[in-house]
Structure formats: structure tokens, C-alpha cells
Structure 1
Amino acid sequence: MYWYTVNEKTAASYAPELPLPPAEPGAPELFLVRGDPALRPAAWRVTDPRQLTAERADVTWLDPRRMGDRPELPEAVSAAIAAGRLTGVNLRHPRWRRALDFTAPRPEKKRVHLLAVGDVGGTLLTALKLLGGDVVSSVGICDLSENTVARWVTEMGQISWPWDYDALPEVESVPPERLFDCDVFIFAAARAIPPVDSGVQDVRMAQLEANRPLAERFARQARAADFWGLFIVLSDPVDQLCVAAWRASNRDEGGNWDGLGLLPEQVQGFGLGVMNARTAYFAKKDPRFAAFLTEGRSFGPHGKGLVIANGLERYDDKLSRELTRLTLEANLRIRELGFKPYVAPAVSSGAMQLLLSLRGEWHCGSVPLGGVWFGCKNRFTARGLEIETLEMPDPLFARLRETEAALRALSPEAAS
């Protein structure tokens, strides 16, 4: 083991002769690794020793037992992992030093900017206004329609508690050139949503080609603005648009990848929250699924490939697949009634997960795992992004592998 000093912090590493000041062995706060910057975070909270030796971050990070043998580590490093005090740092990422700043806690309320206020954006905005006063200072909104923006600014300005007029976040118009003067950017724009009577079964994938150029455009704008906050994707298909936005932001003017845009951990997709909530809805209605309410989990994308586990200790593959199907088809039931299913997604996936994120609490979101964005339980900490790790039964993990392969095949990079 070799020891260095980085930003006045003690760092350990397997790598010798790094161009860094040496340090005496001690209690490390950082662990320095070298990995493909396209396949793992720039900085993350280490929860298992095997994350320090794995070649890539993939779905095995959700169940580290499947990553291979545990490496031998000095007691001080093992103690730091056990205490949740160790940040892994990928030295091969061009912005690894900047990534350490991203993990630094900022207790002040955050400014949120929202691009566009259609059905989803308007519902999300309303929920943030009502629920976000503890962590959101203000919400700036931007839309192609000036009248739409004026309407929502006025309506939101007329919502307040009597005699406590500053308790809720202010809502204001923000011009396109100032979209990234904020702490959180939410991409909720969509070029086209198939009508209710279109007969389209997988509406999300029908939106990919329409929404991908839009996501890439604003990701490039984030790069130009040197944006250093959270880039949240709420538009469908969430997981594929996360990949598209991240890659677009990390290409130079010639289209070459240089890693000088958004960090992988800066981009998160909010689509899994409503799938988790829909599953809970069915679990409350049918006693066969009740275990989900205490030990269940949701994984994967907002759409085809979703994996619902009815429980971890009492995992039943047949029940879990039935519950997955019910959850996947829940939006179709709303469309059969003649409505677009946007209210629950805007609140459960959008507003609720964002507020949990800003509070540093566990939430449902799509995170970077080996070049794809994969939905799971995660949280932002002062030591970096942390992904929940679990011991999973083989049939459940096999389903995660299938979803990972499907997402990789559908990734914008593979298609381009």
C-alpha cells in the first residue's frame, strides 16, 4: 500500500510513485484507483473493498459478493470503509480533483431550474413549491411559450401560507442562457408524446429519437457553462437520455470524448420512483405481495426491463415477475381511461426523489453503472454517491444482468 496527500487529506492506493506528495500511513479519507473513466464514477463513497479493485462499475456493485475475492487491505483502510469515511477516486478521470469538490456538503438551500412546464413539469413544479421549502430556495422555469411561463409564475406566486409568506420557494422566469446558473437542473422537456389513442405500447421508447437531440443540446450547454450541480433527467426514456446527455457533454467540438463535461455522478435519472410507488400500490391491494412493503426493492429502468423483487429474504421469482408486470402496465390502465399518466410520475419520480436527494436521504434513481444508467436505491453523501449494496438470490441477480444487457444494447452510444 502507498500513501499520499491530496487536498490536505490522507490517501491510500495500490499505485506506486504517483505524482502526489507522500504521506505517512494513517486513517485515510481517500483511496486512489485507476479505472476507465467511461465505466466508473469519478468519486464515490466506498461501501465494499472489492469496489477498489474491480475493473468497472456494473450491476455487481449492487451485490459485491459477485465482484470476486475481497482484497487484503490495511486495517486503517478497512476501518474507514466500515465507518463510511472513505471516498474512492478515479485518477484516470480528467476531472478527478473537481469531483472531490462535488462531494463536499453544502448545507444551504438549493436553487432549482426546470426546463419545461408542460403536464409533467407543471405538476412537478406544484409539488416542489408545496413540499420543498426546507431545501429549495427558488425554482426558475423556462419554456418555449412565454405565456406558459408567465402563467406558472403568476399561479405559483399566489400560493402561500397565510401570515407566513416566505415559507415556500419563490418561482420565477429564467431565460435559456441562464438555465445553468443553479444547483439543480431538471430536464422535463419532450418533443412528442404519443396520443392516448395511438396504440403505442412502449411510449417511452417511441420518445427516444425525438427527445435525445434535445437532451444532448442542453448537456452541451451545461458543459459550456461549466455546470457543477445535479443534472436530472425526467423525460422519457429516462435511462437512455441520461447516457445521451452525459456522453454529449463530454465530447469536444470535434465530437471526441475528452471527459471535460458532466461527471457521471452529476447525472441522475428520475423514473424509478413512480415504479416503486406503483408496486407499493399493488402490494397494498393484494396480500400476496405484502412483503414488498417491508423488504421489497425496485431496480432498472422506467419501462421495459424493470425488475421488481417482492422481497429479499423471501424472494419469490414468480410473484416478483407478476408484480413487475402489474407495475409496468399500470400506466396503460390510466391511458385506457382516456388520460395521460403523468401526475404520479411527476410527483413520485420527480419531486419526491429530488427532495430526498437534496436532503441526503435514500431515494430511487438511475445511476451510472458501467456505461449505462441503472435504477436503484442510492443517496448523495459528503463522501460521494453511495449505492445500496445487498445480498441477492441468484434468480434476482440474473434478472438484473438481463436488464443490464438490454440497456447496454439500447444505449445511444451503441446505436450511433
Structure 2
Amino acid sequence: MFYYLYKNKYLFSIEDKYDYPKVNNIPLITDELYFLYESDKKASKGSYAISDVSDLFSYEESIDLLRLKETKEIIPENIKWLIDNRKIKAVNTSYENYEERFYFAENKKKTVNILALGDVGSTLLMGLKLLGADIIESIGIYDRSSGKIQRFEYEMNQTSFPFEYDVLPEVHGISKDELFDCDMFVFCASKGVPAIGDEGKDVRMVQLEENAKLIKEYAVLAADKSFKGIFAVVSDPVDPLCATVLKESNNELLPEQIKGYGLGVMNARAMYYAKKNQGYSMYLNEGRAFGPHGNDLVIANSIADYDDKLSKELTKLAVEANLQVRKTGFKPYIAPALSSGAISIVYTLKGEWHYSSNYIAGVYMGAKNRNLSSGLEIEKINMPDELFERIKYTYNNLKKLGDL
């Protein structure tokens, strides 16, 4: 390994191809370290948290990053300790201005701005207000209707615990020009939501064309503002809309800045049926969800004792759960706004494990992950080939959708 020093930051790489001043080693005690690698920026992130030794020797991204890999490579013990404690940030030197990634995120309260206060946006706002006390400093809200902004500014700031009046985050109206003055921007605008009785096969995909037009404007605005925070996509279908944001920002946004929030509710729906049917109960302790919010979802009943038949049955129940709500005569937006939206966003900001879609080798796809100070970590697990083939099939379908 080769070690370097840059403005009091310690760097290292497997190959000696960087011009920074060299050092013999890194300090035995350090809180941050940067791993330099080079990978095609058209199919790889700008940075991420190193979570396994194999990351140091796998430069090209692929869907394989979801699987734990055995490696015979021997690395220094202090490097191994830093990996185990998630104190190494991988930085892709193929990106321009990659040195801007030589920092760890601050552990502080965050500011969140929400676009659109319809059914989903307003419900998500309530969830963030009530759940975000520990991590959210303030919530900015914007909608084309000034009346909605005023209403929710009144209502949310009149929501309080008794005798603890500064605990919950303040909610305030903002202008369109202020949308990206924050740590996280949450896109909840939507058009073309099918009416009750007009669902079709996958109601989420009906919205793709119209919502892609909507989100383009804000991707361009984020790029123009040199936005450095998280661009959170809650509107359906989240995975292709994330890809739209990256493309329409003219790659001014880094792939890892964009996250899609749709998989949380699919996990919660699988949990719902696992509680109702003992045959699926393993999911509660050992299950996982992968893929999009909708068709091509992959539910694994267990990663310890995977059963393909049970997993596909549970997947079907989770995928069709929204149709069951529609049969009651109501649109199914409350659970998505809370499970995929508010809860998953709060967990993101806290650096805790949650479900959301992230960039994997050119495709946005959902999996268990967390955002650490050192960057994004997507969970790696031992999984049977049968499960991996399902995940790969979904990945390839999402890739085809993004290529349209």
C-alpha cells in the first residue's frame, strides 16, 4: 500500500499513481482515512464508506457489491480496524474536483426542505415534525399554493409537547429559490396518480412520464445552486426518477447524493403479512427487501434459511398491498409517506440502517443501507445464488428502464 498526506489528511491507495507527498505509514490512531481509487464515473459513485476488505480490491461497481466476498489479500491491522469501524472513505479520483470529498460529514442537526404539500408531502411533514426532534433543526416547506404553506406553517408550529416547547423542529415557509438551502431536499410533487378504480397493473409506473417532467426542473435547479446535500425522491416511481435527477442535473450532482424513498413501505408491508401468517414469520428477524417500490420487488423470507417459494409468495402480497387499500375506496399514501418517507428519512439523517434506493453501477435500486460520516454503506450479506439471481433480474430490468 502507498500512503500520502494532503492538507493534514491521510490518504492511501493500492497503486502508486498519485503525486501527493508520501509518508511511510498512517498514525496508529486516526479518526478518518481516505482510500483513492479510479473507476469509470459513468457507472460508479464519487465516494462511499469502505465496509469490507474486498472493497479495496473491487474498483468496478456491480450488483455483486450486495454480496460478501472472500478475499485472500492481507492488509495491515490498523487498516482493518479502520474498515471495521467505518472510518475509511473511498474517493473515486475519476471525478473532477475529487479532493472536495476529503471530509467526513458533521454530526449535527440537519435542515430539511419539502417540495409539495399534497397527500404524501403533508403526511411526510407530520412524520418528520414528530420524529425528527433529535436530528432535524428545521423544516422548510414550499408548494405552488401559498395557502397550503400558510396552513401547515400554522398547524405544524402549533404541534408541541406540553412544557417542552423547543423540542420539535420548527416549520417555516420558504420560496422556490430557497429550496436547496438545506441539508436534504425532499421531492414530493406528483401528477397522474390513478383514480380509484383505474389502477392498471402497476399504478406507480403510470406516473413516470409526468413526474419525470416535474422532477427535471428541480434537478436543474439543484445543479445551478451547486447543491451539496441529499436529493430525496419520494414521488413514484422513485428508482427511475432518481436516474432522471442524475441525468437532468448534467451530472453536477454526485450519484450518491440522490436517494429514492419507496422500499421502506414494501418492507413494512412484508412485515404486516409476516405477522398475520406464521409461515412468513421468519421475515421479522431474518428477512430483507430489495429492488423498487412496485413490480420487480424482491422479498427474501430469510437470509439465513432462504425459501424461494415462500419469498415469492410474500413478495406478491407486498406488491399488491396497495391494491387492497384501494379496494377500501382510498388512495394508499399514508403508509408510504411514513414508512418509506418520514421514518426512512429520519433514519438516513441519523446514520441508521434503513431501506432506500441508491446508485449501484449505473442503476438506482433499493437495499438496506445507511449514510455514515464516512459515506454511504450498502449492506453486504451472504446470500444463496437463487436469491441473488432474483436480485440480478430486478437490477437488469431497472437498467433497461433507465436506458429508455
**The TM-score by the shorter chain falls in which range?**
over 0.9
Where do 1:132-211 residues align within 5 Å? 132-211=132-211
Aligned mates of 1:327, 1:350 — CA distance in 2: 17
Aligned mates of 2:377, 2:329 — CA distance in 1: 40
1:51 is paired with a residue whose SS is helix
Name the counterpart of 1:98: 100
1:243 is paired with a residue whose SS is helix
Tell which deviates more after alignment, 364-373 or 5-14. Answer: 5-14
Aligned mates of 2:85, 2:161 — CA distance in 1: 42
Shift of 1:6: 3.0
Aligned mates of 1:32, 1:6 — CA distance in 2: 12
Name the counterpart of 1:377: 368
Aligned mates of 1:246, 1:6 — CA distance in 2: 30
Structure 1 residue 131 corresponds to structure 2 residue 131 = yes
TM-score scaled by length of structure 1: 0.92
Name the counterpart of 2:352: 361
Name the counterpart of 1:288: 279
Name the counterpart of 1:57: 61
* 5+ long unaligned stretches in structure 2: none
Deviations 1:103-124 (A, max 9, x none): x232322111000000000100
Aligned mates of 2:108, 2:85 — CA distance in 1: 26
Tell which deviates more after alignment, 351-360 or 25-34. Answer: 25-34
1:386 is paired with a residue whose SS is strand
CA contact (8 A) 1:49 1:70 kept: no
Aligned pair in 2 of structure 1 residues 95, 216: CA closer, same or farther (>3 Å)? farther
Name the counterpart of 1:341: 332
Deviations 1:207-243 (A, max 9, x none): 1110112212101111111111111000000011111
CA contact (8 A) 2:140 2:171 kept: yes
TM-score scaled by length of structure 2: 0.95
Deviations 1:351-376 (A, max 9, x none): 00011111111111111100111111
CA contact (8 A) 1:239 1:269 kept: yes
Deviations 1:68-118 (A, max 9, x none): 8554544543443234322211101124222233xx232322111000000
CA contact (8 A) 2:243 2:363 kept: yes
Aligned mates of 1:242, 1:72 — CA distance in 2: 38
Name the counterpart of 1:269: 260
How much identity, in percent, do the aligned residues show? 42
CA contact (8 A) 1:42 1:95 kept: no
Aligned mates of 1:234, 1:326 — CA distance in 2: 22
Shift of 1:381: 1.2
Structure 1 residue 352 corresponds to structure 2 residue 343 = yes
Q: What is the letter of the counterpart of residue 332 of structure 1?
A: L
Q: What is the letter of the counterpart of residue 94 of structure 1?
A: E
CA contact (8 A) 1:238 1:269 kept: yes
Name the counterpart of 2:115: 115
Q: What is the letter of the counterpart of residue 329 of structure 2?
A: G
Deviations 1:253-288 (A, max 9, x none): xxxxxx4x1111111111010000111000000000
1:64 is paired with a residue whose SS is coil
CA RMSD between the two structures: 1.6
Name the counterpart of 1:82: 84
CA contact (8 A) 1:99 1:263 kept: no
Structure 1 residue 4 corresponds to structure 2 residue 8 = no
Aligned mates of 2:143, 2:90 — CA distance in 1: 39
1:164 is paired with a residue whose SS is coil
Shift of 1:161: 1.9
Where do 1:196-235 residues align within 5 Å? 196-235=196-235
Aligned mates of 2:82, 2:133 — CA distance in 1: 35
2:204 is paired with a residue whose SS is helix
Aligned pair in 2 of structure 1 residues 7, 264: CA closer, same or farther (>3 Å)? farther
Structure 1 residue 47 corresponds to structure 2 residue 38 = no
